[in-house]
Amino acid sequence: MANPTQASDFTPGRSVVFRNATVITVDKAGVIPDGDVLVTGDTIAAVGTKLKVPDGTVEVDASGGILTPGFVDTHRHMWQTALRGYGGDWALSQYFVFYYLQHGEVFRPEDIYAGNLLSALESVDTGVTTTLDWSHALRTPEYADAAVKAFEEIPGRFVLGYGNYLGAPWEWTADKDFQAWVKNFATSDMLGLEIAFDVPDSEDFPEKAAFEYARDNGLRVTTHAGVWGATTDVGIGHMFDAGVMTDQITYVHSASLSPESYQKIAATGGTVSVATESEQSAGQGYPSTWEIRKYGIPASLSMDTSVWWSADYFSAMRATLSSDRSRDHLEAHRNGETVAVNRMRAEDVIWMATMGGAKSLGMEDKIGSITTGKKADLLLLKNDQSPAMTPILNPNVHVVYQANTADVHSVMVNGRMLKFDGKRIGLDIGPARDAVAASVEFVRSKLGEQAWEEGMHPPLEPDEEIENPYKYAD
């Protein structure tokens, strides 16, 4: 019998075959029981059963496991990972105060780098093979270089959403240093570029110039929309009237919009990035999947920011499916009815997590499904000792409601194995941990101990007690 496969077997140029997995292809082949997937170079070379493979191919025993396309996150403020968990008790107003007035005054390019490095490592570690970095703190191209440096050190697939929330988008996109930076930016399959900015209510829609810059330079735009009270139907109305709504736009959240706005997004081919943990906690409106599906708008999933909530993509899938059903139930109960059949299925969530993400990034020809000819971005969920991983009866449901990050056995990006048998290959956490520790130390000392503590624990008025006419007595 051959020796068991080890991490050291995955040498550059060597083909890899995953054997006997339950393969969720997310294409027309559906779910393949006892399926094999052959990877040569950076590409999926064959998908089927009992595949014949070239001599020297590394065999991965994927039996008892589920092989899925790598997950795609279409909106993550990766730089904020440097302060992971700091704002877990915030409301939206505290977030704005902290990032605009306090942290916004002090952070440096190395703080962007630190957060991005940790976040990028976390993405690939947990099977998120492509992440859009909604990087809205790039004050100057020097900050953007720091963001990109992290992506050069972690071999995942990334898209930099270039943004600068401390400036006006029609000004910073017109800046010659920014424009020169974009011209020099070498886009590749591993690193893409978009423009990231929001459209708050205004009379004259100055953001039009930023949309035109993006269009003229072939760049997609990602924008927060339908954040209750902040980016509303007014902005969508301006965008539509100006003709800048196209299939090149991703609308993040889109939780508090009118039917007309959803129709405009649908009619122009836009996609929505749903960040359920974020929408539920920050008061942006109800997670929009239940609404946008009425209009046929495709959704992708995202984590938003781990300064507040988790970056656990399994949590996003679970929360999205549950919130969608919860809303359907509430709507039915309002009419004195009950939901007889759940409309959203686990399979729909898996689609959002993979192909929906690929579509939102304009990469549906390259990633998002296990299809011959596509880039080999793969996630193997297999944990033979986990009670949660047996039996596997309904694979799509199993991924959404049963599996978790501890079941991430193997992660492959662009044909390169980054994690095998539950352990990353040559991607130590040390550099990211040290960079983040230095960043925390710096921010904390700049803010001062009192502001740091108050920022973490927003003051709370005592609850008003309701008079209770009933009394308990022995």
Contact footprint for Zn ion (CB under 5 A): 304
> Which residue's CB is nearer to Zn ion, number 40 or number 289?
289
Give dist(CA 369, CA 375) in Å, integer.
Answer: 9
Give dist(CA 122, CA 129) in Å, integer.
Answer: 10
- State the minimum distance, in angstroms, from the CB of residue 88 to Zn ion: 16
Give dist(CA 331, CA 395) in Å, integer.
Answer: 29
Buried b (16+ CB within 10 A) or exposed e, 423-457: ebbebeeebbeebbeebbebbbeebeeeebeebbe
> Which residue's CB is nearer to Zn ion, number 18 or number 99?
99
Residue 84 backbone zone (phi > 0: left; psi -120 to 50: alpha; other: beta): beta
Give dist(CA 127, CA 353) in Å, integer.
Answer: 11
- State the minimum distance, in angstroms, from the CB of residue 298 to Zn ion: 19
- State the minimum distance, in angstroms, from the CB of residue 107 to Zn ion: 17
> Which residue's CB is nearer to Zn ion, number 133 or number 304?
304
- State the minimum distance, in angstroms, from the CB of residue 304 to Zn ion: 5
> Which residue's CB is nearer to Zn ion, number 233 or number 304?
304
Buried b (16+ CB within 10 A) or exposed e, 31-63: ebeebbbbbbebebbebeeebebeeebbbbebe
- State the minimum distance, in angstroms, from the CB of residue 252 to Zn ion: 6
Strand (E) or helix (H) holding 157: strand 157-162
**What SS3 state is found at 387?**
helix
> Which residue's CB is nearer to Zn ion, number 38 or number 112?
112
> Which residue's CB is nearer to Zn ion, number 71 or number 165?
165
> Which residue's CB is nearer to Zn ion, number 302 or number 369?
302
- State the minimum distance, in angstroms, from the CB of residue 136 to Zn ion: 8
| Per-residue CA distances from 62 to 36, 343, 368 (Å) | 9, 32, 20
Closest of 238, 155, 252 to residue 201, by C-alpha = 238
Cβ-contact 110, 435 below 8 angstroms: yes
- State the minimum distance, in angstroms, from the CB of residue 251 to Zn ion: 12
> Which residue's CB is nearer to Zn ion, number 304 or number 407?
304
- State the minimum distance, in angstroms, from the CB of residue 233 to Zn ion: 19
Cβ-contact 272, 80 below 8 angstroms: no
> Which residue's CB is nearer to Zn ion, number 304 or number 312?
304
The values of phi and psi at residue 329, to 5°, are -65, -45
- State the minimum distance, in angstroms, from the CB of residue 356 to Zn ion: 17
Residue nearest to Zn ion (CB): 304
Pairing of strands 271-274, 249-253: parallel
